[in-house]
Amino acid sequence: ETGVTQTPRHLVMGMTNKKSLKCEQHLGHNAMYWYKQSAKKPLELMFVYSLEERVENNSVPSRFSPECPNSSHLFLHLHTLQPEDSALYLCASSQAWPVTGTQYFGPGTRLLVL
Amino acid sequence: DAKTTQPNSMESNEEEPVHLPCNHSTISGTDYIHWYRQLPSQGPEYVIHGLTSNVNNRMASLAIAEDRKSSTLILHRATLRDAAVYYCILRDVVSPIDMRFGAGTRLTVKP
């Protein structure tokens, strides 16, 4: 399997549930990203892991918790989400250097919070 | 923060060139200009990027104004498969988290 894969592709959860999104890259990259794409809004960068160091966007609520156990895997743990968190969550990867290197995106997980 | 502005939508006929504009009047000296596109039901994919000089690759060309306050993505011969949302993005070489997406231009290609 090649490229960036994400599971699940679709997820419906209640506000009290805890779930996790998974991303895996097979490109030998050492930087991984989580993005949020809401309807009619630009893509928002949520988190970056580069060379196993997390660079955090401080505007992301604490109900989103990323985890990067190694350079190939990235998780986004979700708990007590709100309906406005319903969106497409995209994972991407790249080489850490140069920082302007190409990012490769997965197909996304479409999340619906009821 | 530097921002980009793009037209909401554009139309093109198949086999004709398409020029997609992007304004970034507050661009800084360390900002690279990237273009990505997002086909329906897919994640974005890289198209091209540049700093000051015009760039060409197999997918497109990027024309950057001399003052760098605007740029144009050029698709030389649009195909139906080029129908997508095209994003003009400023990427600061100093700060990897500083990704600033525009609202994107939805390109429709008519046969």
Alpha carbon B31 to its chain centroid, in Å, reads: 14
Do B44 and A90 lie within an 8 Å CB cutoff?
yes
pLDDT band at B104 (very low <50, low <70, confident <90, very high): very high
pLDDT for B97: 58
Q: Least CB-CB distance to A108: which of B43, B97, B101?
A: B43
**Is it the case that residue B5 has pLDDT exceeding 70?**
yes
Residue in A42, A44, A107 nearest the CB of B103: A42
pLDDT at B30: 87
CA A50 to chain B, closest CA, distance in angstroms equals 9
Residue A82 φ then ψ, to 5°:
-110, 160
Please tell me the predicted confidence (pLDDT) of residue A63. 95
Question: By three-state DSSP, how is residue B16 classified?
Answer: coil
**Distances in Å between the alpha carbon of B5 and those of B23, B27, B62?**
5, 12, 16
The answer to whether A92 and A6 have CB atoms below 8 angstroms apart is no
Mean pLDDT over residues B40-61, rounded?
Answer: 93
Q: How confident is the model at residue B98 (pLDDT cuts 50, 70, 90)?
A: low
Residue A59: the pLDDT is 84
How far apart (Å, rounded) are the C-alpha atoms in residues A34 and B99?
Answer: 12
Q: What is the pLDDT of residue B96?
A: 57
Average the pLDDT over B106-110 and give the result.
Answer: 97
The band of B81, judged by pLDDT with boundaries at 50, 70 and 90, is very high
Contact B96 A48 (CB under 8 A): yes
Proportion of chain B above pLDDT 70, given as a percent: 93
pLDDT in tens, chain A (114 residues): 569 999 999 999 998 889 999 999 999 998 899 999 998 788 888 998 887 788 767 689 999 999 999 999 999 999 999 999 999 999 999 887 776 778 899 999 999 999
User: What whole-number distance in Å separates Cα of residue A90 and Cα of residue B7?
Assistant: 24
Proportion of chain B above pLDDT 90, given as a percent? 74
User: Is beta strand B105-110 parallel, antiparallel or unpaired with respect to B84-92?
Assistant: antiparallel
